[in-house]
Copies of this chain bind each other. A is one copy, B any other.
């Protein structure tokens, strides 16, 4: 780094980070009170008082911290640090309440991380025998985890990040603090609306109201927790179809829904990454069906139906499943690994590397081929849809792809050191990092403790696209010159 650049660097202001976290703690206190009340009403023992205790602590801490100054000009490292810490805090706060359901500390941590990151992997069994309040808490963690992703990213990161700013600009607004706040409010309304539709739709499909609530919350957050050890396999086919539709809707950039009344279906179907989402899900389903028919002798209609459910679940990184993934042919598991890792659309609760990066990659390859046929002095540009691919977006895509590969390889390496089956290991690691939640059978009570830790770290890293957690470990984030706060 040059000296000139070094003098431009500003460490994060601890007071600003703490103050913003204080506001967040107040929100978390309100969010923690909901399952506490539900548990109280449904008559659980142990869970509700722990939840009230956590809510009270969050309220106390939040009230203290929120008095700290929160200037309008929050720095990017501060925004990223708050995002990283928010997920750590939200998960950490639920460990002790979850332990009230006779769960060890590590499994409670795993479940909490899996919940707030909307991953949906679980090391717990006998889910059908667990109390209703506990099941609600799991669904609720996913729901507000999804809310966090949808709203926090807009409110904190987008106005600091060039590509995020462009997302705001597509709605025709200028980039003021107020407009980012409006935008976050609009996303919140979309999320609430989708949630209402989801729960109502699942209820109409024939599930009991409480089951509809559990699955509707898990679907709209692309979370994937279910109320059975066989995931959603026991649900009637109509409910499975409705849930799949909700997952697909939730994997689309949420701000687009705010344009539906003005632009009509074009608001969604005109977007390249929405089309890519549908195309990827269809290709994945076709591959799964083809493998099922040829290698496993499944009949075509069944193979197509199963293929579509699993492919939508993988592509949207929801993690619902109606078949035993561990029993699928190795080739099908590889297809799912790729689908989960690519993931859904930016601005949604879906995980993975995101389809926009795949589109950028495809355009760059097309551009490279086209360039072979023109004089190198001719300047060619590439677009995704109507948006020009800027050098910054290319660098960001390469950096994310590289970091993602590094996380997968390192995590896989630890699994292999433990002597676990290679493909199932890669599947589990890819699923956790993409916040997908499908499991090839390794994630369960018997998974080695270190591997549970690895998967929980993967879930957190994937959820914040790695950078927000790296920022927490980056020395200049905390040490160096800072502005007066």
Contacts and interface: CB of A to CB of B under 8 A. Distances in A.
Interface stretch (A86-94, A112-120, A128-136, A467-475): A467-475
B9 A413 contact: no
Interface string A410-426: 00110011010011000
Given A10-B374, A467-B369, A402 B75 contact: no
A258 interface: no
Interface string A456-485: 000000000001001100101100100000
Interface in A367-381: 367-376, 378, 380
A160 B398 contact: no
Interface range for A: 35 or more
A246 to B, nearest CB: 29
A442 interface: no
Interface in A318-369: 329-331, 334-335, 338, 360-361, 364-365, 367-369
Interface stretch (A212-220, A307-315, A388-396): A388-396
B375 A8 contact: yes
Contacts of A330: 416, 419, 422
Nearest to A473: B369
A369 B416 contact: no
Number of copies: 2
Nearest to A371: B76
A373 B10 contact: yes
Contacts of A1: 370
Contacts of A401: 398, 401-402
Contacts of A204: none
Which of A295, A375, A403 neighbours the largest number of chain B CB atoms within 10 Å of its CB?
A: A375
A228 to B, nearest CB: 29
A103 interface: no
Contact of A5 (B361, B378, B412): B378
Interface in A67-120: 75-77, 80
A347 B77 CA distance: 39
B467 A372 contact: yes
Contact of A365 (B334, B391, B402, B476): B402
Contacts of A474: 369, 372-373
19 contacts: A5-B380, A8-B374, A8-B378, A75-B372, A75-B373, A77-B372, A77-B373, A80-B372, A329-B416, A329-B417, A331-B417, A334-B416, A335-B413, A360-B398, A361-B399, A372-B467, A373-B474, A397-B398, A422-B422
A360 B80 CA distance: 24
Interface residues of A, dominant DSSP: helix
Contacts of A162: 376
Which of A331, A391, A477 neighbours the largest number of chain B CB atoms within 10 Å of its CB?
A: A331
A471 to B, nearest CB: 5
Contacts of A207: none
B10 A334 contact: no
Given A10-B375, A330-B419, A416-B423, 19 more contacts: A1-B370, A8-B378, A9-B370, A11-B373, A75-B372, A75-B373, A160-B376, A329-B416, A334-B412, A334-B413, A338-B409, A361-B398, A368-B395, A370-B476, A372-B477, A373-B477, A373-B480, A394-B394, A422-B423
Nearest to A78: B372
A291 interface: yes
Nearest to A374: B8
A341 B273 CA distance: 30
A295 B417 contact: yes
